[in-house]
Amino acid sequence: MSSDFEGYEQDFAVLTAEITNRIARVPRLPPDEKKQMVANVEKQLEEAKELLEQMDLEVREIPPQSRGMYSNRMRSYKQEMGKLETDFKRSRIAYSDEVRNELLGDDGNSSENQRAHLLDNTERLERSSRRLEAGYQIAVETEQIGQEMLENLSHDREKIQRARERLRETDANLGKSSRVLTGMLRRHPGRK
């Protein structure tokens, strides 16, 4: 079941990378290609939402003791999805502004474009930092879970060894008891 989740994760990663790439290309495309690109991005955003829903369903089926790590991943993916939608809205606004400027004959202000570009780069860096932080958190949680599992296995091994030792002692005691009873029956054959 977690393999299904991981498959969805991979699909989501590939899809969000494509969406990010396409969103970044929207402002630089000729007007006729922009319209098609916007439609493609809208479609891919819907696919990404569907993947998130599938992943969410998978997380709900995971046993509660293992669910925490997956829930943190889901939060990160949902934040990423929100960021993609925000970036897409900004891209569409920029696209609308360009269409308006073309119709009005206004070239716009290059410093505004530079500022928008800097803001986009800053946001991408922040998003990458959040992803790295989320990845680090997942690694720490995975390590903690692994450590707990090793401790549990060690305790279980000790219990099994103690039980095996008790079984040997019981077997030895039963053997002694059997010999004593056999000896008593031989000494007093007529008695019952």
What's the pLDDT band for 60 if we cut at 50, 70, 90?
confident
Looking at residue 168, its pLDDT comes to 92
How far, CA to CA in Å, does 35 sit from each of 1, 22, 25, 27, 79?
39, 12, 12, 11, 26
Relative orientation angle of helices 31-60 and 64-104, to the nearest 10 degrees: 170
Please check the confidence at residue 180 and state whether its pLDDT lies above 80.
Answer: yes
What's the pLDDT band for 190 if we cut at 50, 70, 90?
low
Q: Which two tokens stand for residue 46?
A: 């819907």
CB atoms within 10 A of CB 51: 21
Rounded to whole angstroms, the Cα distance separating 185 from 177 reads: 12
Buried b (16+ CB within 10 A) or exposed e, 63-100: eeeeeebbeebbebbeebbebbeebbebbbebbeebee
Please check the confidence at residue 102 and state whether its pLDDT lies above 60.
Answer: no
Please check the confidence at residue 176 and state whether its pLDDT lies above 60.
Answer: yes
Of 30-44, 106-120, 149-163, give the lowest mean pLDDT range: 106-120
Please check the confidence at residue 105 and state whether its pLDDT lies above 80.
Answer: no
Confirm if 5 and 70 have CB atoms less than 8 A apart. Answer: yes
